[in-house]
A = this chain, B = another copy of it.
Amino acid sequence: MDFGTASQRLTRTDAAGPGRDGVLRTLRTGPFRFETGGSLPFLDVGYETWGRLDADASNAVLLHHALTGDTHVARGEGAEPGWWDGFVGPGRTIDTDRFFVVAANMVGGCYGTTGPSSPDPDGRPWGSRFPFTTVRDSVRAEARLADALGIDRWHTVLGGSLGGARALEWAAEYPDRVARCVVVAATAASSAEQIAFARIQTEAIRLDPDFAGGDYYAAGPGPVAGLGLARRLAHITYRSEPELDVRFGRSPQGSELPLGSATFDRGRYQVESYLDHQASKLVGRFDANSYLALTEALMSHDVGRGRGGVRSALGRLAGVRFMVAAVDSDRLYWPEQSERLARSLPGRTAVRYITSPIGHDGFLTDIGQLDAELRDGFLD
């Protein structure tokens, strides 16, 4: 099964030695016990690095991808651009001439780390047998990666959206191993609304007759219609109402006729075609079971779980320096939720705002707005 560029990178990777920038490598762990009780005989943790770890291992930065992201944050040896290229690289905000940058794929993903599409010891995809996984599981797997890389304490952990949840969970799980934590467009715990939108998406995948209970790998391409539907909805929530209105309004797609007639099926509005395009891009590169697993990990996100609640969990992180940022037009991870997160942290942490009309995705497109704040003071 091929989930696009990352899998291809994985193939290239197997031949790559350590320390090559932006090339996917894999760490194989021993037996891994999941937070909620499952276990696997081993995990492969897919990761990429950029730059060099300094002698006292004090310059390591961990970057966290969002729901369907991958480890290719920045350009490396190859030509393929990273998804945060303007933000991470030589001379960039996260300066790979200065920092040793690491990005790992989430547990349950399909970009190098073991997930439902990965083979079990007999070569059969785990499929429906893949354990329920949480953000905390990914953080614990990354801690093993940090051990293997010789990183005792991160200079900075940073992420947006589900990646922001992962950064925060890192600070809460290993406060002594995190000096700075940057949480962008994320919450301390997934809200009722985030859970609700997520549930529609998981349900759409399960409704697809090709889902086959999660064991679809031998039969064909799997539940691509359901995954596409999930992505369409997700993409609406990633964008703001005015963004969709200004870009598409009620325009028809090309010469299509969105009003049906007695003899023809109706054509599409531009906004429908746009969502179709988003869906088709995703289904070509992402595994539906991974989408399910990571979406349920998102739903499970609660930094206060098993730690006496959010305030208690965050209240004891006085040793970590935080930056909390939000996109002002975000209507999936509402700015008020970032404000609440900031208020729960020790000390006075003012929320930094990314100003963008487009909504949640501003954490990807406009992260550069945090450049000055990060360089002048926060990262030292």
Contacts and interface: CB of A to CB of B under 8 A. Distances in A.
Interface of A: 34-39, 131-132, 134, 189-193, 195-197, 199-200, 203-204, 207-209, 225-226, 229, 232-233, 236, 241, 244-245, 247-250, 258-263, 266, 269-272, 275, 296, 299-300, 302, 331, 334
A208 B223 CA distance: 12
Contacts of A196: 232, 236, 244, 271-272, 275
Contact of A272 (B38, B199, B247, B259): B199
A245 B193 contact: yes
Given A192-B271, A299-B269, A263 B204 contact: no
B232 A262 contact: no
B199 A275 contact: yes
Nearest to A134: B259
Contacts of A35: 259
A192 B229 contact: no
Contacts of A34: 262
B191 A244 contact: yes
A186 to B, nearest CB: 15
A266 B331 CA distance: 27
B192 A233 contact: no
Given A191-B245, A241-B191, A232 B302 contact: no
